Every structure is written in C-alpha cells, then in structure tokens.
Amino acid sequence: MSTAPKPIALPVTAVTCLEDRAHVERAAVLDLEAGVQRLRLGPVSALAVDR
C-alpha cells in the first residue's frame, strides 16, 4: 500500500448558510482496490463535524 499523498480537489456540491455557521458538502466517487485502504481528509477545520 502506497503512503504517497495523491490529493484530489473535491467540488462543493451544496452550501447551507445558517445564522452562525455554514454547512458545506463535497462529494466524490472513488475506485478503490480490494483490501485495506486509507482515506486521508484534510486540511479540515477544528470545527468540522462528522455526521
């Protein structure tokens, strides 16, 4: 398994503006090989929430 970073710029697919924050969505389709894969996300704000 290669550990070399291969960054992929993801387009913004939706933005919801709220009173004190914004919800930004990005989407991608990945073709992954069989076996264990590592997906690295970043840079991400410390205020990010995974739902």
Are the CB atoms for 10 and 28 separated by under 8 Å? yes
pLDDT digits (tens, 9 = 90+) for 1-49: 566 667 778 889 999 999 888 888 888 888 888 999 888 777 777 777 7
Alpha carbons 29 and 34: distance in angstroms, whole number = 16
Strand partners of residue 26: 12
Are the CB atoms for 12 and 22 separated by under 8 Å? no
pTM: 0.54
Are the CB atoms for 27 and 41 separated by under 8 Å? no
Classified as helix, coil or strand, 22 is strand
Block residue for tokens 């387009």: 11
